[in-house]
Each structure stands twice: as C-alpha cells, then as structure tokens.
Amino acid sequence: MLNKLSILLYVYRSKVNGKGLVPVYCRITLNGRRKQFSTGCSLQPMDWDAGKSKYKGLSSEARHINKKLSSIRKAILKAYDDLALKSKHFDVDQLYDEYCGRTIEVKTILGVFDLHILQIKELLGKDYSPATYQKFILIKSHIKEFIKTSYRLDDYPLADLKLGFLYDLEHYLKARKKQNQNTVNKTIERVKKISRLAVAHGWLSHDPFALFRKKPYTKEVVFLDNEELRQLESCQLSERLNTVRLLFLFSCYTGLAYHELTTLRKVHIKKDNKGMLWIEMIRQKTKRPISVLLLPKALDILESYDYTSNAGILLPVISNQKLNAFLKEIAVKASIHKHLTHHVARKTFATTVLLNNDVPVDVASFMLGHSRVSTTEEFYAKVQKERVVTHLQKLNFD
C-alpha cells in the first residue's frame, strides 16, 4: 500500500483575535484523510504568503516563525519515516500521534507468538503439555528466521499480513528447512492459530490466512505385523535394550502414547465386575478418555515390574528421544527393516491387534482416544489395502 502524504500550512482567517492576528494551522493529509492542528504561531493576515506557506519578509519575527514552521514539517516527515519502518499500513491519526511523541504500539506476529507461548507456559500440565510448549518455541524461531531471511525485518506487523505470507513460508520451510509436507502443514496450522488469536483480541479485523488451503499429504503408516512382533519378542538383547523392548511391546498391546506410558499409575488400573483389568486414563493430546483391556502380554509386562505394590509410575521412564534411539538398535538385532519409533507401537496396536482382529472402528476409536471417529476411519483406510492383499495371498487359485 502506497501512503500518499501532503503537508499544508495555512492561516485560519476566520479566527481573528483581539489584536487582529490569525493562527497558522497545519493540515496533514494521508491517503485522503485529514488531520489539522494549530502550530502555535500567529501573524497579521497580510504577512502570510499562501503560495509559499510562509511568513513574508526577513524580519526577526518572520525568521523565527518560519523556522518553527519548517521544524514542524520536518518532524512530521520524520514521524512518517519512523512509522513506515514499523508497518506499511498506518493512518493519519497514527501519524499525528507519532509526531506528538505518543507511543504507537504496532502489533506483530512474533509478539502474538510470545503472548501465546506465555499462556501455554502458565497452563502447563492443565491444558498443554511440555511438548506443545517446546513446539511453539521452535516454530516461533523458524518464523523469526523466515522473516529475517525473506523480508529483512526483525518482526512482521499484523496489519501487513497477507495470504502470500503463508505461501512464502511454505516455500521457505521446504527449501531452507528441508521439511516434508506433513511437517510444513503442522507448522502453518499453528501460524494460522496465531492469526485467529490476533482476530479474537481485535488486533486484526479479519483473518488474512482464512483462504489458505494446505496441500494434501499421505503419510505412510508404519506398524509391525505378527511375524515382526514375534521377531521382536524372541531376539536376544542386553538388559538395557530389553527394558526398551518391554516398554515398546507394552504400547503394542495397549496403544498407549508416550505421555500415557510414562505417567501410568496403579490408580489407572481398574477391575470390572467380571474381574477383567482395564487401563482407564485421559489422553493428554485429545483430552479424551481411553479404556483399554489389559491383554495377557501387557499384563505380564506390568507384573514383571510388580505393579501391584508400586505407588508411583508403574514402568521405567526413558526420554522419548533416547527410547527412539534405542529402538533403532533393537530393529537391527531383531532383523526388522522398518524405522522403529515409539509411535510405531501405537500403530501396531491399531492394526495388528485391533483391525486384524475385526475390532469395529468406533470401539477402536474409543480405545485409542481419538478425538474423532473419522481419524480412526482414515487410519483404517490406509492399511486396508495391505490387509486385503494379505487375505488374498491365502487363497488357492489352483
């Protein structure tokens, strides 16, 4: 947006005082909108040169008033330049406030990020997890680098945000950060959350990113089949790796995500009226209840840690990063040619344990703690083709 500025100095001839003097006014016009104010100078109407907007002559009074009027013009131009450095968009009232020395707070995207990150920090353990807190800090650092690299700015004013900002960001994340489409989509979704927050606070009149549509991305579903589970269970491992194996297998037979695995306590183990044991928890990610029947293999693992007499966390706690690093070693020793992470265990539960045993999608959705049944349906659809192939291979067409 090109800001068209004009500054006019004129005498207000209808405001003659008792001494016959008229005040000199200044009118600022910016993009068709006006703001006028008194300069504090007065003179005889005949002494004003309307063509040159100055006091006629070279008298000491003329020099004094003309110097003051020149200073006012320069101060307005400086205020304009200072505002232009902060934002492309400002109005005549903001320009006048800047000229008067009144602080103009220009809301920026990184400023809203800081606000949201602070809110997350204050609600850690209640509405947000430490992982979410760290993700927003990381994404903010990426956005800061992007703004510096792409626009040569330290921050980006909210008023200047356009849809193109997200398209530029998408290209930057792929080209510079080497992120895949799935990671890019998650980053952009969090940036869109920031823009919606700005709208909610009244800092933006509308959401500039509302029309952005993320590109579809189909993520490969990685899980262990029955044969791979047997390989994992039977391979020889050191005590250190065996602990990791047990944690992984426990999630294979319960579907617990990392957070639930590392916070499982005896209070979460419930016995029904038939004597069956269940894990009942609230899933941290979706805030949805999960209710999982303790299968024999999962129960064996719990009993190996004497869970009934344990008042604290029932299973050993290993950081997710270390857990995934150890799983790489285990995959080699078990001759499993897949990229093992703890999340693969949850996918294994959903497919090999639930889907392949014809557990209905709504039941599986409840056990997995998905916020929507459609999430489970999408997942089931991804692995259905492989399941069909497996069944057809068992047929004899001879």
Q: What is the pLDDT of residues 349-376, one digit of tens each?
A: 988 888 878 788 888 887 887 777 777 7
Please write the tens of the pLDDT for every residue from 159-193: 889 999 999 999 999 999 999 999 999 999 999 99
> In whole angstroms, what is the distance from residue 271 CA to residue 269 CA?
7
130 pLDDT exceeds 90? no
Which pLDDT does position 398 carry in this prediction? 55
> In whole angstroms, what is the distance from residue 330 CA to residue 252 CA?
15
More confident residue, 219 or 172: 172
Which pLDDT does position 335 carry in this prediction? 95
| Residue extents of the structural domains in the chain | 5-100, 109-200, 226-393
Residue partners of 129: CB distance under 8 A and separation at least 6: 259, 284, 285
Q: Is residue 279 within 8 Å of residue 267, measured between CB atoms?
A: no
Q: Do β-strands 33-43 and 54-55 pair in parallel, antiparallel, or remain unpaired? A: unpaired
Please write the tens of the pLDDT for every residue from 50-105: 999 999 989 999 999 999 999 999 999 999 988 887 777 778 888 898 888 876 56
Q: Is this model's pTM higher than 0.75 or not?
A: no
Angle between helix 130-151 and helix 181-200 axes, rounded to 10 deg: 90
Which pLDDT does position 1 carry in this prediction? 46
Which pLDDT does position 36 carry in this prediction? 94
pLDDT classification of 307: cutoffs 50, 70, 90: confident
Please give the CATH number for the structural domain made up of 226-393: 1.10.443.10
